[in-house]
Amino acid sequence: VVDFPTNLQQTKYVHAVGTQEVSVDVAAHLLNANNSGQRSMGDAALEKVSIKKVGNQYQYTIIWKDLNFNGQSDGISKFWVEGKEVQLSSTTYPNVKNPKQAVFTLPELKSTIKVEVFVQIMDIEPGAGRKPAILQLDTNGVSKKLETSTTEKQNTTTDKTAQTDTNTKQAEADNS
């Protein structure tokens, strides 16, 4: 006699459909905060920006690369978004020297974000290496791409055959 647990009839099976997270690459520039429209010196260090929707928020991922200054190589070593420091982590990225990644989340999709960058080699006088800038992103169409590709649907079904099998086995056990 095979003994099935009595709670088997209550078991539900959940199937997740289309739960992959999609990241959208966007065109980006780092602009000088003091001279509207002029690119910041750090713009050349900006390799890639991508955005994905996580819950009701937007996660931004930036890949920074090192630059050459007067025969020396250096890159962004500290980064702030709207006054809050964002940790930089070493990563790998094809054909990029010493890539660093910054990941931060904001409650809304923004095309302009106030940031600050610090480059050690530019810190000739204390504080001179930290510069305010504006991260400008081309977000046209991004919201729609993220909405249509991150659908989360769940189908919940009760397995009726498990309930029938349990009743049958119980009846067989009662008759033996």
| C-alpha distance from residue 33 to each of 60, 102, 103 (Å) | 20, 20, 21
What is the reported pTM? Answer: 0.71
Q: What length is written for the chain? A: 176
* Residues 30 and 117: beta-carbon distance below 8 Å: yes
Cβ within 8 Å of residue 59, ≥6 positions away: 51, 52, 53, 103, 104, 105
Tens of pLDDT, residue by residue over 99-139, are 999 999 999 999 999 999 988 767 667 766 788 999 999 99
For residue range 11-21, list pLDDT tens digits in order. 333 333 344 57
Please give the structure tokens belonging to residue 170. Answer: 């119980």
